[in-house]
Amino acid sequence: MARNHRNCNTMILSSLLLVFYSALLVFSLGRCQPAEDWYQQAQESIANARLLEDLNKNVANNIIIFLGDGMGVPTVTSARILKGQLAGDTGEEHLLNFEQFPHVGLAKTYNTDRQVPDSAGTATAFLCGAKTKYGVIGLDDGAIRGECDTSFGNDVESILESAQNVGKSVGIVTTTRVTHATPAASYAHSPNRSWENDADVPVGHQECKDIALQMVENTGIQVILGGGRRNFRTTSQSDPESGSSGRRRDGRDLIDEWLSSKQQYEAEYVWNSDGFSKVDPVKTDYLLGLFEHSHMNYEVDRPQDIAGEPHIAEMTKKAIEILSKNPKGFFLLVEGGRIDHAHHGNLAHKSLHDVIAFDEAVQMAKNMTSSSDTFIVVTADHSHVNTITGNPTRGNPILGKVDSQNGGDNLPYTTIIYANGPGGSDVYNSYNSEGIRPNITDVETDDPSYVNQALVPLSSETHGGEDVAIYAEGPMAHLVHGQHEQHYIFHVMQYAACIGQYTEHC
């Protein structure tokens, strides 16, 4: 045993001879980790796994699905490391809150017509139980994108609608527009995800209602929190924060219509953090919060917002406080939607900080509920083409440059690199006319505005097509166990709560 410790000490002494990163390595690791440390960690994991032998087969009174938009496995890994490093650790050993859920599986994310999917087809899968085409909301594969007449008779019931049908309270929390693809699939049925307001619906297709109108007409959604005021206001109305005009051409103020439909209840509409903080969940039956003209801010930009926006964890807390008053239980969808948008811009810093905020919302929900009667699932709709590269030393900043080597062109590169996107364009990090990469030696790559380098130049980075993880806790969470088609998530939620197609086993 002493020999093992002497070997570890020798390794530390050897590492001190390395030139520029030896001090960082010793500071980060503190000491070598002998085999006994790893043995103990594994034994603790086995002990925790043994606790799962008694499966939780209760009926889920409450269902919460957390959707990290674009939160593929590389994003989860990177965010885990970043969160650990922000806490003063090396990061690799850290765990996000949802990574500590006892049951994990994988989901295949393709659409029926695309190998690499979009958020509409995937949301329809995990919220409505059937895969469908790229760009289609709440309709099965019989619908054709942009063809209104193909939508009739092809609608599929969502988990939100199933929960409503048995008297549960339902709510939506998102950092995107509330009419964006993921939240829309919980309440709308549209052959085109882009038809968010009436002006978006082309001539000849007006028989299909726009997504914002469908949301307001579903009068039973008790909590709606996110962005997107522009789709509910008319072109003659100015936004109270941005001053921009609304998008609706039909003259209908849908926010006023929503309030008018709730006159017999205690209903609140808020548009900034001050109004949100004043909402008393005990006295509130319905809450509509639209905090931006379009999408809400990235988490790193949120503190600078003049009007103020609530944190996604604060919105989750308020939603649960309102919905949990119903003894029949509730369904809640929480989306960290801007994880995806930052990736599209090759903005790794902003994306990872949004994952960390999202993770805090998961912990908030876990603290407020019990695994005995609340089924919580955390997943992603699709991945992105970000990757963790090189051979950086343990504890090297995940948003920094690889410290162990330069590229074959003798220029530095970051640990996180994208396969395509704006980081490969002339505006940002393109190769010059001689095919030489930009030199980022003096660039602060952990700056929130830094655009990570990309191989293929595109105006917007694309989604990735690999599987995404599913993390589950609570009644019937053990049904998340291996490789699944993405629509399986919907069916597990229904089965756990004994609603929709799954009532006999209860």
Rounded distance between C-alpha atoms, residue 76 and residue 127, angstroms:
22
Contacts (Cβ under 8 Å, ≥6 apart) of 42: none
Q: 384 pairs with which residues across the strands? A: 463
Rounded distance between C-alpha atoms, residue 183 and residue 120, angstroms:
9
Contacts (Cβ under 8 Å, ≥6 apart) of 433: none
DSSP conformation letters of 377-396: EEE-S-EESEEE-S-PPTT-
Rounded distance between C-alpha atoms, residue 174 and residue 67, angstroms:
9
Beta strand 383-384 with 463-464: parallel, antiparallel or unpaired? antiparallel
The helix/strand/coil state of 221 is: strand
Nearest 10 degrees: Cα torsion 424, 425, 430, 434? 120
3-state secondary structure 55-66: CCCCCCCEEEEE
Q: Which one of 14, 22, 78, 119 is the catalytic residue?
A: 119
Contacts (Cβ under 8 Å, ≥6 apart) of 385: 418, 419, 420, 421, 461, 462, 463, 464
Reference 57, options 496, 472, 488; nearest CA is 496
119 has catalytic annotation? yes
Rounded distance between C-alpha atoms, residue 444 and residue 136, angstroms:
40
Contact 94, 78 (CB under 8 A): no
The helix/strand/coil state of 491 is: helix
Classify the phi-psi angles of 68: left when phi > 0, otherwise alpha if psi is within -120 to 50, otherwise beta. Answer: beta
Rounded distance between C-alpha atoms, residue 364 and residue 357, angstroms:
11
Structure tokens at 133: 């085409």
Rounded distance between C-alpha atoms, residue 134 and residue 141, angstroms:
10
Contact 90, 485 (CB under 8 A): no
The helix/strand/coil state of 155 is: strand
Beta strand 103-108 with 468-473: parallel, antiparallel or unpaired? antiparallel
- Looking at the annotation, which residues are catalytic? 119
